[in-house]
Structure 1
Amino acid sequence: MSEYLAEAIFSGAYQPGDFVPRELDLCERFKLNRSAVRSDLRQLVDTGIIERISGHGSKVREYADWQILDPAVTEWMTRYAAPNPMIQREILSFRLDVEPYVAMTAARRATAHDLVAIEDAFEGMRRTLHHVDDPEIRQRHSDNDVAFHAAIFKATHNIVWAQLSHILRPSIYLLISMSNVQTSEPEESLERHRLLMEHIRGRRPNEAFLAAQAVLAGTASALGIEAGASTLGQHLTLQG
């Protein structure tokens, strides 16, 4: 039952402020007793997705209240949020605000081992670029794309960044897999990734920052999402 509600909420069928079906209606629909329904609702309450309002039922909370770092929430996001442009926009906003700084730091700190991981992921993307009509190869391409970005996070040698990329991997995968399907310029996207890799390898932090912005602007364009408004570094004067 919790999966049914999670799918309805994450896909946008129920928006923040909407009430989900009442306990008795859920009992009847899923042939469950009230204790089982309350247990499933508790999972959504504990992760900040809904709140129980005495005498009224359960209401979807604002996105800012969701515990998006909880493994259950990131899993639901990956499985069910593809139709929801608001959630896509929130994930992209995070990446726009953070990843250019991550790329800048990686350009300063990456070791030879880190560069090999980034290059291996890039080569995996390159090999599968023109075969994405095959669902299995398309998934492999997206897996390599996620690995590319995760390797850049790891190359910062900051434990928080590295762990955060691991926790958010499912939600990042959501955007990457969708943008790889929807993009009309796969070669240009690959070239933007190559330039980002080259700037990190060449220890050019400022250029890596801008290259990461360009990669994410391409993702935003493929998804039809406005990219610029939330970028923390849009007015930043970069120092050498």
Structure 2
Amino acid sequence: MAATSSKASPRPRIDEYLVKDIFGGRYRPGDMVPREIDLCEQFAINRSAVRSDLRQLVEAGILERISGHGSRVREYAEWRILDPQVTAWLTRYASPNPLILKEILAFRLDVEPYVAMTAAKRATARDLLAIEDAFEGMGQNLSNAAEEDERRLHSECDIAFHEAIFKATHNIVWAQLSHILRPSIFMTVSMSNRLAMDSEESLERHRVLMESIRLRRPREAFKAAEAVLAGTGAALGLEYSATSLGRSVELPTSPPDTFDE
């Protein structure tokens, strides 16, 4: 009789275990995480494996090693949140942590109105079609938003809407940044769409933004993007005044000559 073979179970990932608790708020900046020896005993794995996993968090800027004491969680500002691995962790684990959500929303508030303003000046017919297609997808899946699949599709179309605006700037840095930021933006978008009590009003805010870009009205696009993000913040229960970066930005009363209004 042929011997049956079975694949060995994968060993526990200490980095995944710790990052889940860190992003979830159990361990906050300044807190020490469990010692190597304690992690070895808890998960029944050798010390070299534990060190290898801890190194992943050190390289991501999330932990710092303190000789003779162990590992401590670093301040959020030190985290390499644009690293693909860190953004993937953000998507999976950061939702319960309001401080991280505030930082992401603050960044979006500081960046996306300017992106929308630039898109209103540079968008081509193809760009406008991509924005409109994403918007139509948002509307189609909104009617059945009580279903999990439709909520997910609505959020995917919402993300595609924002990505299309980034691409419409025709700036290679902005376009690439939209891909890097996608997991983080998806997290705020999906949560806000799930919690929002004004889904129809949210869709209307997106429509106003789309129309401002289509009509090549940069100042209106800037304000419309702010309104979209204000709705996201309200759904998440976050205020811009509580963030480190986000704040209302007033445009000059006399628009610069470069505005094509």
- For structure 1, which segment, 167-176 or 128-137, has the greater mean C-alpha deviation from structure 2 after superposition? 128-137
Q: 1:213 aligns with which of 186, 209, 226?
A: 226
Q: Secondary structure at the match of 1:235?
A: coil
**Paired residue for 1:130?**
143
**Paired residue for 2:131?**
118
Q: CA RMSD in A?
A: 1.1
**Paired residue for 2:196?**
183
Q: Superposed, which structure 2 residues align to 1:193-208 within 5 Å?
A: 193-208=206-221
- For structure 1, which segment, 139-148 or 129-138, has the greater mean C-alpha deviation from structure 2 after superposition? 129-138
Q: Secondary structure at the match of 2:81?
A: coil
Q: 1:89 aligns with which of 99, 102, 126?
A: 102
Q: Taking structure 1 as reference, are residues 62 and 231 closer, same or farther at Cα in structure 2, changes over 3 Å only?
A: closer
- Whichever residue aligns with residue 135 of structure 1, its letter is E
Q: TM-score, normalised by structure 2?
A: 0.90
- Whichever residue aligns with residue 171 of structure 1, its letter is S
CA contact (8 A) 1:221 1:227 kept: no
**Paired residue for 1:234?**
249
CA contact (8 A) 1:118 1:152 kept: yes
- Whichever residue aligns with residue 185 of structure 1, its letter is D
For the pair 1:174 / 2:187, whether they are aligned, the reply is: yes
Moved over 4 A (4+): none
Give the Å deviation of 1:118.
0.3
For the pair 1:56 / 2:69, whether they are aligned, the reply is: yes
Deviations 1:131-165 (A, max 9, x none): 11111111000000000000000000000001111
List runs of 5+ in structure 1 lacking aligned partners.
none
Deviations 1:163-187 (A, max 9, x none): 1110010000000000001011000
Report the structure, 1 or 2, having the larger helix content: 1
Counterpart-to-counterpart distance in 1, 2:116 and 2:137: 20
Counterpart-to-counterpart distance in 2, 1:233 and 1:223: 18
**Paired residue for 1:68?**
81
Give the Å deviation of 1:55.
0.7
**Paired residue for 1:149?**
162
Residue identity (%): 67
Give the Å deviation of 1:110.
0.2
Give the Å deviation of 1:227.
2.5
Deviations 1:60-102 (A, max 9, x none): 0000000011111000001000000000000000000000000
List runs of 5+ in structure 2 lacking aligned partners.
1-13
Give the Å deviation of 1:130.
2.0
Counterpart-to-counterpart distance in 2, 1:181 and 1:163: 27
Residues paired across the two proteins, number: 240
Give the Å deviation of 1:237.
1.4
Q: Secondary structure at the match of 1:13?
A: coil
CA contact (8 A) 2:116 2:165 kept: yes
Give the Å deviation of 1:232.
5.7
Q: TM-score, normalised by structure 1?
A: 0.98
Counterpart-to-counterpart distance in 1, 2:69 and 2:250: 46
